[in-house]
């Protein structure tokens, strides 16, 4: 009785405040209708799901989350029981990743044709609850779900994030947390960059030196790739095959496909340092790369090299059930091949035009092997150089041009242009940020990007199968920094991957600000540049500086000073661009309801 009185008191308070709020979900569902009322989840609530293993696992995720995040112990039933409950229902006619979710005062129903649709419906259900549901502490209030109806399905079949674990290594627990964040945003692909010049990160039992030696570099450059200073400290790490299997299962349980990347023919110095016979053997000594960038030491297209790679891929295929394998193919210098007698003889023997044709031959040899094992290869833009392998997919990173070209050739394409979707670039003022790659790509840029170029016909657009954000980690030493660089920009990427509707920046920022409450509960180390003012300037026709101020965060007032003092509520409010005609320091900060948000941004002119 006492508990029901507490709930009634809570509902009364809720009717004054929370009932009027919008439902803030990322990624935005395709169709959402808010209705009056609430469903209360308590110990009397039951969960019902189809009997097959995948649906039961989805239901168990909900049961576990209610226990940890709300302190509520619910029961699993085989069929609808008396009282109110949450039903996962399998129905015909929905797309393989689609779902329908209906919340009424008497219960919740999530309909889907497949279990992955149920899982995505569950992610939406979590976002209909208080952010505390993501925590591991008993909530201090009843678990309430706003009544609504949702129909939802993804825009693209490839909704991915990438992570480079070669420049810096991240252990299995960090990878699993990254997978959780992908799943939370309805992503379904994790592109795992496992081999590089600077380290080989996966155990291959047939070639033990790859991890005994190839996983460790003797030292690491300090600062940018141009630096001549090194830290003098050995650095390494790798995943055992048992750890790989555990991570693959963890991902599969969350309907995420892991795409492993084994680089070739370039970015292969770590492997060549272990087995020099795989190279053109023009060097006296090979060692794992210690600086960032591109190395000229690459695989030589000899039969023993192809045998080595087939053996490596054989073990990779046994570990990863994905039908797609990423083979890199980017940034392969041709200088060694130009000097190599074997390579030059092979070019002549095969009637190839040049070394670009030799790279195409290399990739086609690997594709033939992969296809024979039921796998499809995907690689970076450079796969198009010298001729695209017959069945290859293209990951377009240098811009859109290669993606457009491949789509017109009826090859599947994943769009990840570096100017739009590379997450290792600055997202805030470089003067106040830690070292990043030397370019700025902010949240708005990522949100605004349309991965379906107008130059493609409707038929050709069908070959753009998805999008992906990439996290290269030369300047990202740990998972906390990975989170900082990836979020909240990854929220924008994964919304583009999921949501079909036209973009609305203001609506997105309002949803994102509420979404940050969820990230806070999860202790995600996301970047808070969202709250920081951006100050820009241009010269007018009298060579005075015209100052413009913007901020991503909605519903704020920008206050500024030009005398070097800190902005406060007494400072002028920015409304329109203004002019300065002498050397001054402009400082600005966002305020809401009299309280400062973000940090003070300062810029001298």
Token pair recorded at residue 89: 């229902």
Catalytic site residue from 283, 331, 401, 433? 331
SS (H, E, C) 26-67: CCCCCEEEEEEEEEEECCCCEEECCCCHHHHHHHHHHHHHHH
Distance, CA of 489 to CA of 442 (rounded, Å)? 8
Reported as half-sphere exposure (CB side, CA atoms, 13 A), residue 369 has a value of 18
| Residue position matching structure tokens 């141009």 | 226
Smallest Cα–Cα separation from 146: which of 94, 198, 101, 176? Answer: 101
What's the pLDDT score for residue 182?
99
Smallest Cα–Cα separation from 288: which of 208, 202, 199? Answer: 199
Q: Which residues of the chain have pLDDT under 70?
A: 1-21, 80-81, 139-140, 541
Q: What is the dihedral of CA 585, 586, 592, 597, to 10 degrees?
A: -50
> Please, are residues 382 and 329 in contact by the beta-carbon 8 Å criterion?
yes
Q: Which residue segments constitute the domains of the chain, with CATH numbers given? A: 31-152 (3.30.379.10), 158-525 (3.20.20.80), 532-604 (2.60.40)
401 is catalytic: no
SS3 content of the chain, % helix, strand, coil (to 5): 35, 25, 40
> Is residue 148 helix, strand or coil?
strand
Instruction: Identify whether 358 is preceded by a cis peptide bond (ω within 30 of 0).
Output: no
b/e 302-326 (16+ beta carbons within 10 angstroms → b):
beebbebbeebbebbbebbebebbb
What's the pLDDT score for residue 140?
60
Ordered DSSP codes for 352-394? -SSHHHHHHHHHHHHHHHHHHTT-EEEEEGGGGTT---TT-EE
What's the pLDDT score for residue 6?
47
What's the pLDDT score for residue 139?
66
Ordered DSSP codes for 94-109? S-TT-EEEEEETTEEE
**Residue 558 CB-density burial (10 A; 0-12 exposed, 13-18 middle, 19+ buried):** buried
Distance, CA of 181 to CA of 522 (rounded, Å)? 9
Smallest Cα–Cα separation from 185: which of 451, 427, 488? Answer: 488
What's the pLDDT score for residue 283?
85
What's the pLDDT score for residue 175?
99
What's the pLDDT score for residue 415?
99
What's the pLDDT score for residue 240?
99
Distance, CA of 154 to CA of 29 (rounded, Å)? 9
| Residue position matching structure tokens 């979590």 | 126
> Please, are residues 249 and 190 in contact by the beta-carbon 8 Å criterion?
no
Task: Give 331's contacts (C-beta < 8 A, 6+ positions apart).
Answer: 266, 267, 294, 382
pTM: 0.94
Please count the residues of the chain: 605
């Amino acid at each position: 009785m006492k508990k029901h009185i507490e709930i009634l008191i809570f509902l009364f308070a809720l009717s004054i405040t929370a009932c009027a709020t919008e439902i803030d979900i990322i990624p935005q569902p395709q169709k959402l209708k808010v209705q009056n009322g609430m469903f209360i989840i308590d110990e009397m609530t039951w969960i019902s799901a189809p009997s097959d293993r995948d649906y039961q696992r989805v239901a168990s995720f909900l049961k576990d989350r209610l226990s940890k995040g709300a302190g509520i112990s619910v029961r699993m039933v085989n069929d609808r029981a008396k009282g109110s409950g949450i039903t996962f229902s399998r129905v015909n006619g929905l797309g393989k990743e689609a779902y329908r979710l209906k919340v009424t005062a008497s219960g919740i129903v999530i309909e889907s044709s497949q279990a992955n649709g149920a899982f995505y419906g569950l992610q939406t259900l979590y976002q209909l609850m208080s952010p505390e549901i993501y925590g591991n502490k008993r909530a201090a209030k009843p678990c309430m779900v706003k009544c609504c109806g949702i129909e939802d399905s993804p825009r693209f079949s490839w909704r991915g994030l990438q992570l480079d674990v070669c420049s810096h290594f991240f252990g299995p627990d960090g990878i699993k947390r990254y997978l959780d964040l992908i799943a939370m945003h309805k992503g379904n692909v994790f592109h795992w960059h496992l081999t590089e010049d600077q380290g080989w990160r996966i155990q291959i039992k047939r070639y033990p030196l790859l991890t005994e030696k190839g996983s460790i570099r003797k030292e690491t450059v300090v600062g940018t790739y141009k630096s001549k200073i090194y830290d003098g400290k050995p650095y390494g790490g790798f995943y055992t095959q048992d750890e790989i299997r555990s991570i693959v299962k963890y991902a599969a349980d969350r309907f995420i496909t892991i795409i492993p990347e084994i680089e070739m023919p370039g970015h292969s110095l770590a492997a060549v340092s272990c087995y020099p016979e795989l190279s053109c053997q023009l060097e006296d000594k090979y060692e794992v790369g210690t600086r960032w960038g591109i190395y000229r030491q690459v695989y030589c297209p000899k039969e023993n090299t192809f045998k080595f790679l087939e053996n490596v891929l054989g073990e990779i295929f046994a570990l990863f059930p994905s039908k797609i394998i990423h083979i890199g193919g980017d940034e392969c210098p041709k200088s060694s091949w130009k000097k190599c007698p074997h390579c030059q003889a092979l070019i002549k023997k095969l009637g190839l035009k040049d070394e670009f044709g030799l790279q195409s031959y290399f990739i086609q040899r690997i594709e033939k092997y992969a296809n024979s094992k039921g796998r499809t290869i995907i690689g970076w833009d450079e796969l198009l150089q010298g001729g695209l392998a017959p069945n290859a997919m293209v990951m377009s990173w240098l811009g859109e041009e290669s993606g457009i070209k491949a789509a017109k050739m009826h090859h599947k394409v994943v769009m990840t242009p570096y100017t739009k979707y590379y997450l290792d670039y600055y997202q805030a003022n470089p003067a106040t940020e830690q070292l990043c790659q030397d370019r700025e790509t902010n949240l708005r840029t990522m949100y605004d990007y349309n991965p379906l170029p107008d130059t493609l016909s409707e038929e050709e657009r069908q070959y753009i199968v998805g999008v992906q954000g990439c996290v290269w980690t030369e300047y990202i030493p740990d998972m906390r920094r990975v989170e900082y660089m990836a979020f909240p920009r990854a929220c924008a990427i994964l919304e583009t991957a999921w949501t079909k509707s036209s973009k609305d920046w203001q609506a997105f920022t309002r949803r994102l600000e509420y979404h940050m409450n969820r990230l806070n509960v999860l202790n995600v180390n996301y970047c808070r540049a969202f709250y920081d003012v951006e100050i820009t300037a241009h010269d007018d026709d009298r060579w005075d500086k015209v100052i413009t101020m913007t901020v991503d965060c909605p519903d704020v007032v920008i206050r500024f000073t030009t005398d070097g003092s800190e902005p406060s509520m007494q400072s002028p409010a920015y409304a329109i661009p203004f002019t300065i005609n002498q050397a001054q320091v402009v400082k600005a900060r966002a305020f809401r309801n009299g309280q400062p948000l973000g940090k003070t941004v300062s810029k001298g002119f």
